[in-house]
Chain A
Amino acid sequence: MSLGGVLVTGATTPIGERLCRSLLADQNVDHVLAVGHHPPERALPFSHGERLVYRQVDLSRSRAVHKLLFGIARDLKIQVVMHLSMHRSLQGRGSRVHAHNVDSLRSLLALSERHPTIRRLVFKSHFEVYQIQHNLPVLITEDHPLNMAGGAPQWLRDRVEADITACTRMGLSDLEIMVLRCAEVLAPGTGSQLFDYLASSVCMRPAGYDPVLNLLSLSDVVRALELACKSSGTQGVVNIPGADSLPLSECIHRWGRTSLPLPDLLLSPAFRIRRRLRGAQFSYGMNRRRFHYAAVADGTRAAELIGYHPENPIDWPAEAQELGSQR
């Protein structure tokens, strides 16, 4: 069955790039309209003839989004929008970043609802939108409270707002909307806080706590997005868990790092110094509860709605090294 054309925003990110490749490998996809921030010559490291079209678009400008959807997207008969674009840096602040993170989605939703060919929009949201607390469930379902903490950085507030924006439009028009709350993808270029945390050779963590984390591999997130793209006739919010659920200490060990448990009081200033000196992205304040209490995404609804099951674990560097030396 032909899927028509698929528009992918955030196409120059590691996830977007892999998703484009994967969609192009499917002959049922007529065109992939890849949208990114980079100029065309630095955009995608592969070409695919006429089936792949790349456009450099600043999504924070609503006029540009309008032009994209009612221009090339209409010409290519785009049926599905895969919205992956989100500002990844914690240092990104202000109205421009907010416009990119939230207003662009609002424009995409409003325009898609009245678009002649678009019938489905998939938004890649984040597991970080959930509140983690000692008295809340460990296994997090889609009705879990969201993190509405007033003091949260814009990085997080924008993600929560975008998620709610997509959810509130569900069922109001013929447009099928699917929100995928993806577990953290432990890979570079994905905005992963944990990836930045694990960049240090010695990883400080709160003494006396060792919460279970759930992590998603690049191949599984791409597979989930592809399944959501093709699950015509379904809509809703689903969690996308990964195949790796393990305690923080084990995660540090498997990444080949040394774990250093410290009293909680020392961690905030220590990570603040690290951020200032090394320009690191990791914010202990934002991850504090996650580093104390277990939180694992429940993927039951994703299995029911889009047939997603986590299959591909992360390729842990320390493990790979150990295996390599054994050979």
Chain B
Amino acid sequence: MSLSPVIARRFAQAVLTPEELEWVDAIPYTNTGHGYDPFGMHPAFVATGLGLFKKLHSSYFRVKNYGIENVPKSGNGILAGNHSGTLPTDGMMLWLDVVRNAQRVPRPIADHFVPTLPYLGVLFSRGGMVGGSRGNVRALLQAGELLMIFPEGVPGIGKPFSERYQLQDWRVGHAELAIRHSAPVIPVAFIGPEEQMPQVARLERFGKVLGLPYLPIPASPIPLPVRYHIHYGEPIALHQDYRPEQADDPEVVNEAAHRVKTAVQGLIERGLEIREGVFR
């Protein structure tokens, strides 16, 4: 993978509007000398990602957002949401939604195996993805970045259809980091992706051979064109209720993570209530 930023930029010029190009150019980021940030993100590739996938956002999944004004315009923050759908298209749609509507580039925090995937790892990192190590997350929050974290992790994305909209084991790292680095947590609920690609089986051994946690066998070869509803909740300022040193207290961190989980669950329930149908 050695796609030049020049080619990426030309592609973006062909598919994006001048306004979109203008603000992608104005994205604040840490340029470490050759147009890349230390994690490999480059604005030309952000523009390419936007150009490549914006039709998926607007025409295929017809994403509808609620409460986008809750996404901070600047400063650090953590978008924490439910994860599902067999393929991580919910992450992609959240990235596109924030890029297009809040005009910020959120940094998706991926599981450790993602940077090991050939080609995909490079493409994702050029768009802003970062491997989920504690040091990476700390550095990004200190740099004032907006992170995308799915506390359910891989078990969330691979949950069986019968458990849709039921939050899986909710990891607590995001709460600890939010308290330690004074970052607001914005709860996010996805309505739609939990029905896009029901899984009928999973091949764990074969997946391991490919460097994946498992290989999913979905009922549909591609995600169904369900309508995505993304609900952004009001920011939870954990750092105002807890002191930074309390980030070392497991009970405090569990309690804080539970607050985030409850907020996400509440948004899911409200979202399911107002939804008119899986494809509407």
Q: Which A residues fall within an 8 A CB radius of B?
A: 134-141, 144, 206-212, 214, 243-247, 249-250, 253, 259, 261, 292-294, 296, 298, 313
Q: Chain A residues with Cβ under 8 A from B115's Cβ?
A: 134, 293-294
Q: Chain B residues with Cβ under 8 A from A211's Cβ?
A: 40
CB nearest to A248 among chain B residues: B2
Question: Which of B32, B122, B133 is the one whose CB lies under 8 Å from A209?
Answer: B122
Known contacts: A212-B36, A212-B39, A246-B33. The answer to whether A139 contacts B118 by CB under 8 A is no
Task: Please state if B34 and A246 are interface contacts (CB–CB under 8 Å).
Answer: yes
CB nearest to A293 among chain B residues: B115
Q: Chain A residues with Cβ under 8 A from B113's Cβ?
A: 134
Task: Please state if B1 and A208 are interface contacts (CB–CB under 8 Å).
Answer: yes
Known contacts: A139-B139, A296-B32. The answer to whether A247 contacts B40 by CB under 8 A is yes
Q: How many angstroms between the C-alpha atoms of A245 and B134 in the bound complex?
A: 21
Q: How many angstroms between the C-alpha atoms of A80 and B12 in the bound complex?
A: 55
Known contacts: A245-B33, A249-B2. The answer to whether A208 contacts B118 by CB under 8 A is yes
Q: Chain B residues with Cβ under 8 A from A313's Cβ?
A: 33
When each residue 7-44 of chain B gets 1 if its CB lies under 8 Å from chain A and 0 otherwise, what string results?
00000000000000000000000001110101110000
Task: Please state if B136 and A134 are interface contacts (CB–CB under 8 Å).
Answer: no
Known contacts: A144-B135, A294-B125. The answer to whether A138 contacts B33 by CB under 8 A is no
Task: Please state if A259 and B131 are interface contacts (CB–CB under 8 Å).
Answer: no
Interface pairs (5), CB distance under 8 Å: A135-B112, A135-B133, A139-B39, A212-B38, A244-B32
Q: How many angstroms between the C-alpha atoms of A244 and B38 in the bound complex?
A: 10
Q: How many angstroms between the C-alpha atoms of A145 and B125 in the bound complex?
A: 23
Q: Which B residues fall within an 8 A CB radius of A?
A: 1-2, 32-34, 36, 38-40, 112-113, 115-116, 118-119, 121-122, 125, 130-131, 133-136, 139
CB nearest to B115 among chain A residues: A134
Q: A208-B1, A244-B33, A250-B2 are in contact. List 17 more A-B contacts (CB 8 A).
A: A135-B133, A137-B133, A137-B134, A137-B136, A137-B139, A138-B39, A138-B130, A140-B135, A141-B135, A209-B1, A210-B40, A212-B36, A245-B36, A245-B38, A246-B32, A247-B2, A313-B33
Q: Chain A residues with Cβ under 8 A from B2's Cβ?
A: 210, 247, 249-250, 253, 259, 261
Least distance between A146 CB and chain B CB atoms (Å) = 15
Q: Chain A residues with Cβ under 8 A from B36's Cβ?
A: 212, 245-247, 250
State the total of A-B contacts with C-beta under 8 angstroms: 91
Known contacts: A210-B2, A245-B33. The answer to whether A136 contacts B121 by CB under 8 A is no
Task: Please state if A207 and B135 are interface contacts (CB–CB under 8 Å).
Answer: no
Task: Please state if B38 and A139 are interface contacts (CB–CB under 8 Å).
Answer: yes
CB nearest to A140 among chain B residues: B135
CB nearest to B136 among chain A residues: A137
Least distance between B74 CB and chain A CB atoms (Å) = 21
Task: Please state if B122 and A208 are interface contacts (CB–CB under 8 Å).
Answer: yes
CB nearest to B121 among chain A residues: A209
Known contacts: A210-B1, A210-B2. The answer to whether A134 contacts B135 by CB under 8 A is no
Q: Chain B residues with Cβ under 8 A from A139's Cβ?
A: 38-39, 135-136, 139
Indicate the member of A144, A249, A253 with the most B CB atoms within 10 Å. A249
Q: How many angstroms between the C-alpha atoms of A296 and B38 in the bound complex?
A: 6
Q: How many angstroms between the C-alpha atoms of A211 and B1 in the bound complex?
A: 10
CB nearest to B132 among chain A residues: A135
Task: Please state if B119 and A294 are interface contacts (CB–CB under 8 Å).
Answer: no
Q: Chain A residues with Cβ under 8 A from B118's Cβ?
A: 206-209
Least distance between B16 CB and chain A CB atoms (Å) = 23
Q: Chain B residues with Cβ under 8 A from A206's Cβ?
A: 118
Task: Please state if A245 and B135 are interface contacts (CB–CB under 8 Å).
Answer: no
Task: Please state if A208 and B135 are interface contacts (CB–CB under 8 Å).
Answer: no
Task: Please state if B139 and A298 are interface contacts (CB–CB under 8 Å).
Answer: yes
Q: Chain A residues with Cβ under 8 A from B136's Cβ?
A: 137-139
Indicate the member of B38, B125, B133 with the most A CB atoms within 10 Å. B38
Q: Chain B residues with Cβ under 8 A from A138's Cβ?
A: 38-40, 130-131, 133, 135-136
Q: How many angstroms between the C-alpha atoms of A80 and B34 in the bound complex?
A: 36
Indicate the member of B40, B113, B125, B134 with the most A CB atoms within 10 Å. B40
CB nearest to A313 among chain B residues: B33
Q: How many angstroms between the C-alpha atoms of A38 and B40 in the bound complex?
A: 42
Least distance between A232 CB and chain B CB atoms (Å) = 29
Q: How many angstroms between the C-alpha atoms of A247 and B123 in the bound complex?
A: 12
Least distance between B169 CB and chain A CB atoms (Å) = 19
CB nearest to B5 among chain A residues: A250
Least distance between B138 CB and chain A CB atoms (Å) = 8
Q: How many angstroms between the C-alpha atoms of A253 and B116 in the bound complex?
A: 24
CB nearest to B39 among chain A residues: A138
Task: Please state if B133 and A212 are interface contacts (CB–CB under 8 Å).
Answer: no
Q: Chain A residues with Cβ under 8 A from B131's Cβ?
A: 134-135, 138
Q: Chain A residues with Cβ under 8 A from B112's Cβ?
A: 134-135
Q: How many angstroms between the C-alpha atoms of A95 and B2 in the bound complex?
A: 42
What are the 8 closest A-B residue pairs judged by CB atoms, nearest first? A208-B118, A137-B135, A249-B2, A245-B32, A135-B112, A246-B34, A296-B38, A208-B119
